[in-house]
């Protein structure tokens, strides 16, 4: 049995196994339980890339980047340059980003994935890099015009031992420029810009 066929078998088994539980939940909600055929059709629909994914198309490409970090509000920001590649993977379901640049005077690499969750109707993203061993998880939405993607996530602040909320905003002033900004609570507890990356599309 191939990996694909095993996966299909497991999905089918999970659908059947979930039947009794789904029936119980449906009964609680006074809704009829979803039969196997309907469940499989819904699963196929949720697994198909759609308009939500299409909004990320302008991000695809090769970019140069200029990063600015405000690590200490009383000091000048730290600046560095790098490059980034964004491309669709897994049949257009997720946008993969790789980043290669400098951080704190040394080499820095990162990779992340952004996609649209058809079920939750939200954008979801992960990020990991050589500056740590934590995977960052974020979720959010575009504005009504479909031009600004705002996402939020939680991250550990090792300096305080607490978990803090961070916010990112991605905009595209033009087809050849993309701006990514990260905000988090500053020393006074108020939200402040911590990082900005300006991407310019390679010609």
Tens of pLDDT, residue by residue over 160-194, are: 888 999 999 999 999 999 999 999 998 888 899 99
**pTM of model > 0.85:** no
Q: Tell which residue, 38, 42, 58, has the closest CA to residue 118.
A: 42
Q: Please state, in angstroms and rounded to a whole number, the distance separating the CA atoms of residues 143 and 22.
A: 34
The total number of residues shown for the chain amounts to: 203
Q: Which DSSP helix (H) or strand (E) runs through 110?
A: strand 106-117
- Sequence-distant (≥ 6) Cβ neighbours of residue 161 within 8 angstroms: none
**Which pLDDT value is given to residue 25?**
52
What stretches of the chain show up as alpha helix (H) in DSSP? 3-28, 36-46, 51-54
Task: Give 65's DSSP letter.
Answer: E
**Which pLDDT value is given to residue 32?**
79
- Which ranges of the chain have pLDDT less than 50? 1-18, 21
Q: Do the Cβ atoms of 156 and 166 come closer than 8 Å?
A: no
Share of the chain above pLDDT 70, in %: 85
**Which pLDDT value is given to residue 189?**
85
| Domain limits, the chain | 3-47, 53-201
Does the domain at 53-201 match CATH 2.40.128.20? Answer given as yes
Q: Tell which residue, 179, 194, 198, has the closest CA to residue 78.
A: 194
């Amino acid at each position: 049995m191939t990996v694909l066929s095993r996966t299909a078998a497991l999905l089918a088994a999970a659908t059947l196994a979930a039947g009794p539980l789904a029936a119980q939940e449906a009964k609680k909600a006074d809704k009829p339980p979803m039969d196997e055929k309907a469940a499989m059709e819904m699963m196929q629909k949720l697994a198909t890339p759609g308009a939500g994914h299409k909004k990320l198309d302008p991000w695809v490409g090769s970019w140069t980047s200029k990063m600015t970090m405000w690590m200490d509000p009383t000091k000048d920001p730290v600046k560095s340059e790098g490059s980034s590649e964004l491309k669709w993977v897994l049949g257009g379901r997720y946008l993969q980003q790789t980043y290669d640049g400098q951080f704190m005077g040394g080499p820095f690499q990162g990779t992340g994935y952004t996609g649209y969750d058809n079920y939750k109707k939200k954008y979801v993203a992960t990020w990991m890099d050589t500056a740590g061993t934590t995977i960052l998880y974020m979720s959010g939405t575009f504005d009504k015009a479909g031009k600004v993607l705002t996402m939020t996530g939680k991250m550990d602040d090792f300096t305080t031992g607490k978990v803090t909320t961070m916010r990112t905003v991605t905009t595209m002033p033009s087809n050849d420029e993309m701006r990514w900004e990260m905000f988090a609570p500053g020393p006074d507890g108020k939200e402040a810009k911590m990082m900005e990356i300006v991407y310019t599309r390679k010609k």
